Chain A
Amino acid sequence: MVYKKRYDGRKFDEMRKMKMEVGVIDNADGSAVFQIGNTKVIAGVYGPKILHPQRLRQEGKGVLRVHYRMMPFSVSERKNPRPGRRDIELSKVIKESLESAIFLENFGGSVIDIHVYVVQGDAGTRCACVCAASLALADAGIPMNDLVAGVASGSVGEQVLLDLTYDEEHVENEDVTDMAIAYNENLDKVTLLQMDGNISEKNMVKALELGIKGCNIIKKEMQKVLKKRYE
């Protein structure tokens, strides 16, 4: 079987419909909901604030902390609420995708906490979390050199495609490759990159290019939402 037509009728370089909102959590310094297709995440930012205990503080550099969690009812089989290895790893890669965008040198001795929760999952949750976190950071007024955006790219068989759904990640009898990407356009750097699958050199580069293109489109949408909120 060759994957010729996408299950949901999209073009291969087309992303799912997005929905974004900032300022959704009253107590947080910044917050956002980011939805792409059926994947929906919520992010909240607290800080910058003094970091305790003192031994964790860094002179002349703020510390960024990210916690990624899934709500137990966000997936088909109820997820155990206790954080697992995946939650911890994803927290780390999301954090590293954002660090170079934030002027952390302005916040010596401080910490910025970002908490991201998956409310409804249908693939691409870590990339959606990067987008929600960026929006929440901007909503909190934290200075950044750009809004980092994220999207998943990949391939089914020989077909390269953007923003895979859960069903596309599980196409039977085909090699499926899933590539998670976050991109900082201003720095022109890919700041999150993970991949699992089986894919040729040519298609790997193609998938990355497609992902970067997708990130730039998402960033423009993010800017629109923020402008609308603060104009």
Chain B
Amino acid sequence: MTLENNIKKRIIELASEGKRIDGRKLEETRKIEIIYDISNQAEGSCHVKLGKTEVMVGVKLGLGEPYPDTPDAGNLIVNAEVTALAGKEYEPGPPKEEVITMARVVDRGVRESGCVDMKKLVITKGERIWTLFIDAYVINDAGNLIDASAIGALAALKKAMMPVYNKKDDKIEITGNHVKMSTKKLPIAEEPIAITIAKVGDYLLPDPTKEENQVSDATLTITLNKKDKGVSLQKGGSEGFTKTEFEKALKIAIKNSKDIRAQIK
């Protein structure tokens, strides 16, 4: 029996007693800590700790041109990287499929929920708009990078200030924390929360640790808005979920997302 199988066996054993490998209750989220303003050059930024998983997230705004199909909305670009700081298995280089998927799931959560009122990021309709960049940099991987990155994205967005723009010269004059005169905040309209649940054996484990992530048969990320409505789903892994399991996962996600949302100022 391989080490991985042994770990899996142990995780299932513990789950049958209502426990998790790190001592949590079965459906509990790890402790969340958010340190704001880690970069004074960012419009909004934070350092999120979800248990021992750590992510640095920054929000920047830049001038851009609208896409032809959305002349009356700003652009959103979400980028995520698991830096080589995060663990011995990571190397510098272009993001791998797992990491690109992670960025896409965070992107869809923000986009589909209408988290930012993109219509308010138009400077001149059809010509000039703001491009909103969200960059999530994982610096320590202890599992569930998606939820930690999504928490960081929301926290940084909620803190973000609009840069000072000079329309005459079409130039950004002041950015980041240097915006002191302006009290204009980034227009936030929703608060999406992503809940990832790992299926290990017959058990559904929200906020999986690295070990639980590794031995999981499948994962499901459910992103919900303030009204508990679903805004995005993403299944990962080689196995699947039954309808009953999906219903159960949804109930866990609804409960846990409320707890997490309440912790983001």
Contact = CB atoms under 8 A, between A and B. Distances in A.
9 A-B pairs with least C-beta separation: A73-B58, A73-B42, A44-B85, A78-B60, A120-B39, A72-B135, A115-B84, A67-B92, A27-B87
B45 interface: yes
A42 B39 CA distance: 12
A116 B84 CA distance: 9
Interface string A77-101: 1100111000000000000000000
Given A25-B139, A76-B176, A117-B137, A71 B85 contact: no
A75 B41 CA distance: 5
Interface residues of A, number: 30
Contact of A71 (B40, B58, B62, B84): B58
B189 interface: no
B41 A76 contact: yes
Contacts of A26: 52, 54, 140, 142
Contacts of B59: 73
Interface of B: 38-42, 45, 52, 54, 56, 58-60, 62, 79, 81, 83-88, 92, 94, 133, 135, 137, 139-142, 172, 175-176
B133 A78 contact: yes
Given A69-B92, A71-B137, A73-B135, A117 B41 contact: no
Contact of B39 (A31, A67, A71, A115): A71
Contacts of A113: 84
B142 A72 contact: no
A83 B38 CA distance: 22
A38 B135 contact: no
Contacts of A58: none
A25 B42 contact: no
A25 B38 contact: no
B85 A78 contact: no
24 contacts: A25-B86, A27-B87, A27-B142, A28-B85, A42-B139, A44-B84, A44-B85, A44-B139, A67-B92, A71-B58, A72-B60, A73-B41, A73-B45, A73-B58, A74-B58, A76-B175, A76-B176, A78-B133, A81-B81, A81-B135, A117-B85, A117-B137, A120-B40, A121-B41
